[in-house]
Each structure stands twice: as C-alpha cells, then as structure tokens.
C-alpha cells in the first residue's frame, strides 16, 4: 500500500479481500496520519523517510539519506526532498512511479509538473533532488497523490522529467497557497 486513505474499517476489509498487504509505504509526512493503523491491521511494515519521521515515529522501517534503495523485489525508494524534507518516490518494476505530492501530471499543461505553491520544505531542494535523481528514474506510469495519473513510454517520460528538472531550477520560493493550485 502506498500512502493511506482516512481510516475506514470497511475499506480495510476491502483491501484485505484483494490480497496480502506486507508494507505500507509513506511518500511524505502529510500522508502519514493513518499509516500505523492500516499497517497494524494488515500486520504490515510501515515505511517513512527519516526527515519526516516525526509524522510517523512508530514506523518500522526508516529510509535514510538521499540515495535510492531497493526495499523489496523490484521496488526502489527514491528520496526526493522538496515537497517535504522527507519526500520519497517509490518506483515498482521500473513501470510505476508513486510520487506522492512531489510530481504529478497536469491537466492544465499536459506535462509532468511540481506544485511550487504547496512545496512545504524547499523548491530549491526539490530542484537539486530532481537533478540528482532524474537519470535513475525509469518508469511508464506516473501515479501521484494529487493530479492526474499518466502513462507514457519510459523514454518519453524520461524526456519530460529532464525538461521538468530544467524548469524547476528556474522556480523561486513562494508562500504556500492552496488556492493557486490547478491540478
């Protein structure tokens, strides 16, 4: 399970009916509130990055540093500081990228984007994180916490991520403003 919805007994039962949940992967702090409850229900391990640990201090597995790490068979955690200090992208099977709130597909621009007006930690750090990570990110499906999901051939997604990295380096810090977001 990547991130968690608001706790619901009936929803937890539906997830159990689908199959075994061994891990609950949190992409960042503001998606962590119900993580422990779901992990306990499923007997699963709860994961979070050390820089967002105060949002899930009872996590079972702590991601550290900025290097990607394989956390399961064909599952790579890519720390991507920016939206929060402990933001993480999870890439499964080099096909699916669960990006939390770090990057998303914009209906408005028809491209991969960041939400600079709700970057809690640092747009400058997000630019650095993207530059450090872009060569290692290979996937077809972008599956964000907000905004549209999108499937493109991996080489096209990579091209767009490179272009995004260039655009983000030009962004300046600004106050958080939820009303300015157009997913």
Residue 178 scores a pLDDT above 80 = no
What's residue 120's pLDDT? 87
- Confidence tier at 181 by pLDDT (50, 70, 90): low
DSSP helix, strand, coil percent of the chain (3-state; round to 5): 35, 25, 40
Q: How far apart are CA 27 and CA 132, in angstroms?
A: 18
Residue 179 scores a pLDDT above 90 = no
Residue 118 scores a pLDDT above 90 = no
- Paired tokens of 40: 């306990």
Q: What is the mean pLDDT of the chain?
A: 95
What's residue 183's pLDDT? 59
Domain coordinates of the chain in residue numbers? 9-175
For the residues 35-43, what does the mean pLDDT come to? Answer: 97
Q: What is the pLDDT of residues 2-11, one digit of tens each?
A: 999 999 999 9
Q: What is the pLDDT of residues 126-168, one digit of tens each?
A: 999 999 999 999 999 999 998 899 999 999 999 999 999 999 9
What's residue 88's pLDDT? 98
- Paired tokens of 103: 């990057």
What's residue 117's pLDDT? 85
Q: How far apart are CA 85 and CA 81, in angstroms?
A: 5
Q: How far apart are CA 80 and CA 74, in angstroms?
A: 19
User: Is CATH 3.60.15.10 the classification given to domain 9-175?
Assistant: yes
For the residues 19-36, what does the mean pLDDT come to? Answer: 95
CA angle at 133 for the pair 110 and 169, rounded to the nearest 5°: 60
Q: What is the pLDDT of residues 52-98, one digit of tens each?
A: 999 999 999 999 999 999 999 999 999 999 999 999 999 999 999 99
CA angle at 178 for the pair 89 and 143, rounded to the nearest 5°: 25
For the residues 94-108, what does the mean pLDDT come to? Answer: 96
- Paired tokens of 154: 């991996």
- Confidence tier at 50 by pLDDT (50, 70, 90): very high
The answer to whether residues 3 and 143 touch, using CB atoms and an 8 Å cutoff, is no
């Amino acid at each position: 399970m990547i991130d968690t919805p608001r706790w619901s007994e009936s929803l937890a039962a539906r997830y159990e009916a689908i199959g075994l949940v061994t891990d609950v992967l949190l992409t960042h702090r503001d998606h962590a509130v119900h993580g422990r409850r779901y992990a306990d229900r499923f007997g699963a391990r709860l994961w979070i990055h050390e820089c967002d640990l105060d949002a899930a201090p009872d996590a079972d597995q702590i991601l550290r540093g900025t290097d990607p790490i394989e956390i399961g068979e064909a599952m790579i955690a890519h720390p991507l500081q920016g939206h929060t200090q402990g933001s993480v992208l999870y890439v499964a099977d080099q096909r699916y990228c669960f990006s939390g709130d770090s990057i998303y597909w914009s209906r408005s621009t028809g491209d991969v984007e960041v939400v600079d007006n709700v970057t809690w930690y640092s747009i400058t750090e997000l630019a650095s994180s993207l530059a450090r990570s872009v060569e290692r990110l290979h996937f077809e499906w972008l599956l964000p916490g907000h905004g549209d999901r999108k499937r493109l051939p991996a080489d096209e997604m990579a091209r767009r991520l490179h272009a995004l990295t260039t655009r983000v380096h030009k962004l300046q810090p600004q106050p958080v403003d939820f009303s300015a977001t157009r997913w």
